[in-house]
Every structure is written in structure tokens, then in C-alpha cells.
């Protein structure tokens, strides 16, 4: 059977990358002899462009993946396709898992998948007439058949390696300066109030262990295979938290450098990294660690965001990493419920104190079924606005910070982020670039975000070139 996936990745303002979930499903389907292809849609397409894809591919089954920010495209494109072709269409992914009642009603869809899609898809393509497949909901006329969830895949080592070949990896590697992202695990046991992990864990409660990690040897073997296929110059672990199991991380750090001289980066929680772990990561060639600061105000971080680490722990993690020669990136959110302009200033100050090499700033986005979504709804903070990316704008109306103040502080914060980035360039460029960026920010104001977002790929390539990295 021929299955065609459509991956909507429009205006997300990320360096385009692979979709790990689709790559894993593809691999399972291919291992049983099915034909799988993908269309990675990065620019808003016209109706004809979408229809031409289907006309060209003529698949037996079409699959969409959904994140909340992109689900509008799934609704629109599946409707366009359904009007012209009588091909069954299924949608899976986070939004379909968390909001099944909404997604199943999209006109263009016949089915949705909740939770992990590898084995439900396999059962479906073996028999498209079946309606009793666990994890899948089927639309049959006015009726909706809601099948229960199956257990989570207990051993990720049992899955074949994700099939990244069905993405344009050459282009992706070029866009990302030779960086390739992989996953060693699924899930996260923490309960930060803005993140979907708690919601996903609750939906799948009683279905097995939510956090699962592949064996170190399994991960190393995958890296070996990937390197033999693609010109990878840098690895990123996209796992929510690398080193959730310290023993696993130490084993990885011991074995990885014996096989590879490839630099890598990963995400970690500031209160979980100690000197021993950081030293091991450094000696394994980890050159960057990404920590979530999110807010510089401890009350907001602990009580509202439900992140237990203190400012002191954050400072210590960044300082230790820097002392060991590991670069850092901080993740930050602004536009949070109950946040005041002074609290945003505290976030900027904490960033200035820890001086990350790179700074990511996003606007808080209320994702369905998260604790902070419920609070935002109850408090009347939700607006009618929608955004395709949490980098582009705030969809909240806050009594504590006006939109004008929010964007003014965002621009200030962004100015500092650019300054930090410039500091990694050769010294003779610092002053002219700083003057240029200052003038640009002054001139464009809030529009600087839009301009930078739209041209970020070109900037990224230029920045990587200037840094002499990757
Ligand atoms: C790695 C990652 C990324 C990577 C790779 C993206 C990707 N889509 O693979 C990058 C950095 C590019 C990224 C970007 C974004 N991300 Co992201 N990302 C993650 C992360 C950390 C892991 C995702 C993952 O690979 N999981 C493992 C795979 C195996 O699972 P999966 O993708 O969910 O797929 C399984 C099932 O969902 C299902 N499935 C998925 N699709 C389909 C399709 C069909 C047809 C079927 C049958 C089944 C199916 O089967 C898959 C295999 O079991 C999650 C956090 C998390 N815990 O999920 C956030 C997460 C998914 N991201 C999130 C967001 C918001 C984004 C962005 C919108 C950010 C932005 N710019 O605003 C973009 C959107 C990109 C896009 N177009 O999808 C949110 C989504 C929230 C929501 N409610 O939608 C999450 C949950 C983080 C959070 N805030 O809680 N992300
Ligand atoms: S630690 Fe990160 S991935 Fe885990 S729940 Fe918190 S925000 Fe989500």
C-alpha cells in the first residue's frame, strides 16, 4: 500500500527539521513492505499545490500530523483534498491526541490516531476496512467509533530506526549548518504547567511507563548508521531532558567518544546537572547544553510554571558549564499569566547574569489540557488570536502587562540575545555589528521580530559562518 504523509511546518520559525514521529511510523510501515512518502510543507501552499501533491503521489492513504499551532492547516488542506479525491485521510500527533473530539470533526478527515501511531497504522494499512483498531477513532456517517488506547511501546529498542530518508535530509542538513537532531527517549516525568507532557501522561495513564529511553548501544548504533548516510557535522539530542537517568547519561558519555568525534548538544534541567555529569558530557564532546530558565522570577517559575529549580541552581548550572568550556542556550518565555513588566525585566537580568551563548525567547502559548491553559481560560486571558508559532506573538490578553509593554520588553530582550550572539564572532566585527543591530532594532521596533523570523535562515547561515562553526 502507498501511504503519503503531509507534514505542515509553515511559519514555525524553526530551522526546518525532520519529524521524528512520522519517521518512526514510516520505518515500521516500510519494514512490512509498504511504500511511504512525505511532503514537508514549509511555505504556505495554494489549494492547487496541495491538490497537485496528491495528484502526483496518488496514495492509498493520506496521513497528517498535528501540533496545535499548525492544526488549522490540517483542517484546511484535508478539506481541499477530500473534495477532490476519495482517498481515506487520517490525522495523528499531539493535537489529535489531546483534542480528539475537535479533530475528528474536521470535514476532510476519516480517522484520527491518539498516542503512538506505529502499530495502529500498521494494522490499518493491513486492512483499511477495520474499525476496531486501538488508538484510532473512525468517522462512519454520523457515528464516531472511539477505540480505546493501547499500551505505550514499552521497549523503544524493539522499534526499527526512524526512517529519515523520506525527508530531504541533504537540504535539512544544509539549512541547519550540518546539524542533525535525533531522539534517545520519549516522554518526560515532570509536570511543568505550560508543557504538554503532563497532559499526554494523563491521557495515557495506566498504559505503561510514560518516560522510556533506548539503550545506549541502540542509540550509538543509530548514530553510526546516520553518519554513514549523511554528512552530519553536529548532533542535537531533541529529547525533552537528556540525562533524566544519570546512569544512562554517564554510560553514554563513556561510550560515545570511543566511537565518535562528533560534537553534540542536548537539553537539560539546571537542578539535575551536577559537576560529575557536566564533566562527563564535556569529555564526551558535548559542546552545548540548553537549559530552560523560562522566567527569572522565582515565584512565577515555581508557583505558576511549576518548575522547582531556584535562581541559584540555574546560575550554578550555567557557570559550571561555562567553566568547563560548554556553551549554553537558555529557553525563555514571556507573556505568562500573572507576569508583570518587572518580572520580564528579572528574566532579562537573570539571562544577563548567566550570559548564555544563545538565547531563545518565545511567547507563552496556552496548549490544550495543560494546567496553564486551564488557568488562562478561567482567568479570561485567552484572546481570539492564533499563531502558527510560539515565536511570533502572544495570544493572551493580560491585565498585568499591556501588549505594548510586552513587545517593548521582547525587543529589549531580543537586543540582548543578538548582542550575545555577536560576541561569539571575531572581535573586529563586534562593534560594527552591535551598532548595526542597535540601529535596526530602533528603526523597526516590534517589526524586528517579524523581519528576523522571516530571514532567520539566511542570518543563521551567516552567523554560523562568522562563528567559524559547523
Ligand atoms: C522534537 C520536538 C520538536 C522538533 C521536531 C518536530 C517534530 N514534529 O518532530 C522541532 C524543534 C522542529 C519542533 C518544532 C515545533 N514544536 Co516541538 N517538540 C518536540 C518534542 C520535544 C518531541 C517530539 C517527538 O519527536 N516525540 C517523539 C515522537 C515519536 O512522537 P510524536 O512526534 O508525538 O509522534 C508520535 C505520535 O504523536 C503519533 N503521530 C504523530 N503524527 C502522526 C501522524 C499520523 C498519521 C499518525 C497515525 C500518528 C501520528 O505517532 C508518532 C509515533 O508514535 C515535543 C515534546 C513531546 N514530549 O512530545 C515538542 C512538542 C511536540 N513541540 C511543540 C511545539 C509547540 C512545536 C512548535 C509549534 C513550536 C513553534 N515553533 O511554535 C514547532 C512545530 C513544528 C511542527 N511543524 O510540527 C509542542 C506541541 C504542543 C501542542 N499541543 O501542539 C510539544 C508537545 C512541546 C510542548 N510545548 O509541550 N518540535
Ligand atoms: S521538564 Fe521540559 S519537557 Fe519536562 S515537563 Fe517540564 S517543560 Fe516539559
Q: What is the pLDDT of residues 401-440, one digit of tens each?
A: 999 999 999 989 988 998 998 888 888 888 888 888 888 8
Contacts of 78 (CB under 8 A, 6+ apart): 62, 64, 89, 91, 106, 107, 108, 109
Measured from the alpha carbon of residue 10, the closest ligand is: 1
Check if 112 has its Cβ closer than 6 Å to any atom of ligand 1. Answer: no
Measured from the alpha carbon of residue 12, the closest ligand is: 1
Residue 435 has which C-alpha cell? 551598532
Check if 186 has its Cβ closer than 6 Å to any atom of ligand 1. Answer: yes
Distance 442 CA to ligand 2 centre (A): 35
Q: CA of 440: how far to CAs of 413, 436, 466, in Å?
A: 14, 6, 19
Distance 253 CA to ligand 1 centre (A): 26
β-pair type (358-363, 111-113): unpaired
Q: In the prediction, which pLDDT does 370 show?
A: 97
Q: Which atom of ligand 1 is nearest to the CA of 196?
A: 90
Q: Which residue owns the Cα nearest ligand 2 atom 2?
A: 240
Q: Which atom of ligand 1 is nearest to the CA of 362?
A: 72
Q: Which residue owns the Cα nearest ligand 2 atom 8?
A: 195
Tell me how far apart the alpha carbons of residues 433 and 456 are, in angstroms, rounded to a whole number.
16
Distance 95 CA to ligand 1 centre (A): 9
Check if 240 has its Cβ closer than 6 Å to any atom of ligand 2. Answer: yes
Tens digits of pLDDT across the chain (470 residues): 999 999 999 988 777 899 999 999 999 999 999 999 999 999 999 999 999 999 999 999 999 999 999 999 999 999 999 999 999 999 999 999 999 999 999 999 999 999 999 999 999 999 999 999 999 999 998 899 999 999 999 999 999 999 999 999 999 998 888 999 999 999 999 999 999 999 999 999 999 999 999 999 999 999 999 999 999 999 999 999 998 999 999 999 999 999 999 999 999 999 999 999 999 999 999 999 999 999 999 999 999 999 999 999 999 999 999 999 999 999 999 999 999 999 999 999 999 999 999 999 999 999 999 999 999 999 999 999 988 888 888 999 999 999 999 999 998 998 899 899 888 888 888 888 888 888 887 787 767 666 766 665 566 666 666 665 54
90: β partners:
63, 111
Domains annotated on the chain, with CATH: 2-146 (3.40.50.280), 168-467 (3.80.30.20)
Q: Which atom of ligand 1 is nearest to the CA of 120?
A: 47
pTM: 0.95
Q: Which residue owns the Cα nearest ligand 1 atom 76?
A: 9
Contacts of 322 (CB under 8 A, 6+ apart): 328, 355
Neighbouring C-beta atoms of residue 237, cutoff 10 Å = 22
Distance 372 CA to ligand 2 centre (A): 13
Distance 313 CA to ligand 1 centre (A): 29
Measured from the alpha carbon of residue 29, the closest ligand is: 1
Distance 189 CA to ligand 2 centre (A): 8
359: β partners:
330
Amino acid at each position: 500500500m502507498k501511504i503519503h504523509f503531509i507534514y505542515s511546518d509553515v511559519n514555525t520559525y524553526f530551522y526546518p527539521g525532520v519529524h521524528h514521529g512520522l519517521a518512526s511510523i514510516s520505518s515500521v510501515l516500510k519494514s512490512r513492505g509498504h511504500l511511504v512518502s512525505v511532503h514537508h510543507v514549509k511555505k504556505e501552499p495554494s489549494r492547487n499545490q496541495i491538490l497537485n501533491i496528491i495528484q502526483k503521489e496518488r496514495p492509498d492513504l493520506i496521513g497528517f500530523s498535528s501540533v496545535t499551532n499548525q492544526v488549522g492547516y490540517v483542517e484546511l488542506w484535508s478539506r481541499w483534498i477530500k473534495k477532490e479525491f476519495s482517498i481515506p485521510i487520517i490525522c495523528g500527533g499531539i493535537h489529535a491526541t489531546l483534542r480528539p473530539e475537535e479533530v475528528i470533526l474536521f470535514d476532510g478527515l476519516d480517522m484520527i490516531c491518539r498516542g503512538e501511531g506505529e502499530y495502529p497504522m500498521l494494522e490499518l494499512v493491513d486492512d483499511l476496512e477495520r474499525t476496531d483498531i486501538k488508538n484510532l477513532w473512525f468517522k462512519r456517517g454520523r457515528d464516531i467509533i472511539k477505540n480505546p488506547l493501547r499500551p505505550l511501546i514499552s521497549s523503544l529498542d524493539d522499534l526499527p530506526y526512524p526512517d529519515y530518508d523520506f525527508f530531504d535530509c541533504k537540504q535539512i542538513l544544509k539549512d541547519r549548518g550540518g546539524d542533525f537532531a535525533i531522539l534517545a527517549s520519549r516522554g518526560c516525568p515532570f509536570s511543568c504547567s505550560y508543557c504538554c507532557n503532563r497532559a499526554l501522561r494523563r491521557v495515557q495513564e495506566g498504559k505503561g511507563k510514560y518516560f522510556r529511553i533506548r539503550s545506549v548501544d541502540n542509540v550509538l548504533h543509530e548514530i553510526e548508521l546516520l553518519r554513514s548516510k549523511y554528512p552530519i557535522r553536529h548532533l542535537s539530542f531533541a529529547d525533552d531532558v537528556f540525562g533524566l537517568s544519570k546512569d544512562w547519561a554517564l554510560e553514554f558519555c563513556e561510550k560515545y567518544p570511543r566511537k565518535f568525534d562528533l560534537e553534540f548538544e542536548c537539553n537539560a534541567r539546571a537542578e539535575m546537572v551536577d559537576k560529575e555529569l557536566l564533566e562527563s558530557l564535556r569529555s564526551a564532546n558535548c559542546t552545548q547544553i540548553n537549559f530552560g530558565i523560562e522566567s527569572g522570577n522565582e515565584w512565577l517559575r515555581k508557583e505558576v510554571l511549576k518548575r522547582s529549580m531556584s535562581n541559584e541552581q540555574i546560575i550554578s548550572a550555567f557557570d559550571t558549564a561555562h567553566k568547563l568550556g560548554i556553551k549554553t542556550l537558555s529557553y525563555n518565555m514571556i507573556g505568562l499569566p500573572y507576569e508583570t513588566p518587572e518580572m520580564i525585566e528579572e528574566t532579562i537580568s537573570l539571562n544577563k547574569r548567566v550570559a548564555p551563548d544563545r538565547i531563545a525567547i518565545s511567547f507563552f502559548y496556552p496548549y490544550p489540557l495543560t494546567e496553564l491553559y486551564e488557568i488562562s481560560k478561567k482567568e479570561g486571558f485567552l484572546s481570539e488570536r492564533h499563531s502558527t508559532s510560539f515565536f511570533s506573538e502572544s495570544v493572551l490578553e493580560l491585565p498585568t502587562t499591556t501588549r505594548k509593554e510586552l513587545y517593548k520588553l521582547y525587543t529589549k530582550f531580543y537586543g540582548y540575545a543578538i548582542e550575545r550572539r555577536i560576541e561569539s564572532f571575531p572581535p573586529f566585527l563586534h562593534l560594527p555589528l552591535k551598532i548595526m543591530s542597535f540601529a535596526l532594532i530602533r528603526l523597526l521596533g516590534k517589526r524586528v521580530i517579524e523581519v528576523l523570523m522571516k530571514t532567520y535562515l539566511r542570518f543563521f547561515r551567516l552567523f554560523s559562518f562568522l562563528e567559524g562553526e559547523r
